[in-house]
Amino acid sequence: MRINEVLDEIKHKYPGKNIILNDKHNLTEILCEVDPTSAHRDYSIAVSVIDEITPHYHDASVEVYEVIKGELKLYVNGAEYYLKEKESFTIQPGEKHWAKGDETWVKVTSKPGWSQGDHHKT
């Protein structure tokens, strides 16, 4: 991932927003909290730039992944889906999912809002 270029673009598009690097030594995802849970509990919106996210599930949250730029391979409960720009997929609570991209920009909407306690790695 072109870390500096991606960070510059995120900072330009979403000034002042919180940016999270999933692993500074093996970076595979950069997340920008566009409309975080801390502003309201009912939902959250983030933009994730994905090379790969690790398998996980949520107890309560419904997530909608919408590709903003690039293409995404999304794996949900063992099934593989290919999403192109402007395509979306809804992930229900309890569904194990992960994704692969190539600096793929994805808008992630969570209802209720994302929380660490609802995020479980598999």
User: Tell me: the pLDDT tens digits for 68-87?
Assistant: 999 999 999 999 999 999 99
DSSP 15: T
How far apart (Å, rounded) are the C-alpha atoms in residues 96 and 56? 5
SS3 9: helix
Position 23 pLDDT exceeds 90: no
Sign for the pseudo-dihedral over CA of 87, 33, 93, 103: positive
Could you tell me the pTM of the whole model? 0.94
